[in-house]
Amino acid sequence: MTEITTMTVRELSRAMEAGQLTSEEITRSYLTSIDENDGKVNGYITVTPEAALEAARAADKARREGKNAPLLGVPAAIKDNICTKGLKTTCASKMLGNFVPPYDATVMEKLNAQTVPVLGKVNMDEFAMGSSTENSAFKITHNPRDTERVPGGSSGGSAAVVAANEAPFALGSDTGGSIRQPAAFCGVVGMKPTYGRVSRYGLVAFASSLDQIGPLTKNVEDNALVLNAIAGYDRRDATSVNNEYPDFTSQIGRDVKGLKIGLLKQSFGQGISGEVKSSVLNAARVFEKLGAETVELSMPSLEKALPAYYVISSAEASSNLARFDGVRYGYRSENYSDITELYRNSRSEGFGPEVKRRIMLGTFALSSGYYDAYYKKALQMRTIIMNEYERIFESCDVILSPVAPTVAYKIGEKSQNPLEMYLGDIYTVPVNIGGIPSLSLPCGSDSDGLPIGMQLMGRHFDEATLYRAGAAFEAENGAYHLERGAF
């Protein structure tokens, strides 16, 4: 049999169904892989071998009793901003370095219902603010495809552990590209679902109107299987949408004949690497070969999405992070003489530089005299962008674009230039502003063998079409991310 840690979620599930493997065997294999490889990757903040093996044994018992579920006994890694009852949830911040939630996030309740062993919590940019996983308070995660490079962010740990065969799948969160960009940099598949598709209850908030939890996997079918497990209405999340939740795997295997795929001309202009551009345009030709039609479209407001995003997200971060004051939970400074000094010192010492930068940006944008000039205008731009997406989807079924203008860059290369790093989000942030779904998957590699990702964007609640198109491309083009062995 193929080495366990290189198998897909579907392969693992079928092997357990057939009695060829047990969940305990699978979980032990992944724990061994973590022991052997994570010193080079630094993907995990917390590893939970005892709890994972206990859950694996419970899954094996359930299977012997005739129970079955697509993810039953398949282990997972969880981004460390998703609350896990009894297990540290740090957001990769000194502020929450010892925080143990008293409850599970809804997505964790859904995984627990299928008896998914949790291998551990994975690294991220602090409070999900960053694009490289260099902003963690604890460690820098390395890209398994080239350990001198970043894995992307903020869900860099989630993408890295899947690429390094240290987990068959992982959960991440995406506020402006934080699932899709690390998926592209590490050569795996990542989905940012429609806003409201997956409950945010138990996700530590960065920007509440933009955040969305989603899966990172080795291939497209696995991604759809995981989204099936975590999607659904939740009355505890006021933004959760109560509508039909289809089987996201239902269209996988269908051809793409007749699909109209839009290419936004603004996505292929200045600033994009030649190899990324040619790889994504080659992907468009693959779709044409498969019977899809490509059409060139324009989104005039694409360039304005980036400044609008940084105003909206920073303003919401400023508000959301006000709760971390050193009083009820989290880091508390020992150096204070009154309550004002307690707040100031706890926050100054507990938050890292990038988080403080965004809090200050957001507080400024919301302050008296600047609210109308910045925040109100950003919200108006959001409406324009949403209307442009509606217009574009009258002419096509799917939009194809790059995920990032470049491949993964060297660790430290952009950390002293936050503006340059922010510009790397230009293709991903419009999706969050519009609330639409987007699937990131590998479409090739550059001359150094580094993965290049493309993203497929769809209408609200039409993830199934994205999976259909992504799986068809994968079947035709081969899957870079399925090359055996990350090192």
- Tell me how long the chain is: 487
- What amino acid occupies position 365? A
85 Ramachandran zone, left/alpha/beta (phi>0; psi -120 to 50): beta
What is the DSSP pairing of strand 451-458 with strand 44-47?
unpaired
Give the Cα separation of 394 and 65 in Å (integer): 50
Q: What residues form DSSP beta bridges with 397?
A: none
Q: What residues are annotated to the active site?
A: 79, 154, 178
- Please enumerate in sequence order all residues whose Cβ is within 8 A of that of 392, keeping only pairs 6 or more positions apart, or say none: 262, 264, 297, 299, 399
For every residue of 180-218, DSSP letters joined together read: HHHHHHHT-EEEEPPTTSB--TTBPPSSTTT-EEEEEES
Number of H helices, E strands in the chain: 15, 11
- The DSSP annotation for 263-326 comes to EEGGGGSTT--HHHHHHHHHHHHHHHHTT-EEEEE--TTHHHHHHHHHHHHHHHHHHHGGG-SS
| Closest of 394, 398, 470 to residue 431, by C-alpha | 398
Kindly give the pairing relationship between strand 212-217 and strand 169-174. antiparallel
The Cα 434–Cα 455 span in angstroms is 15
How would you write 47-71 as a 3-class SS string?
Answer: ECHHHHHHHHHHHHHHHHCCCCCCC
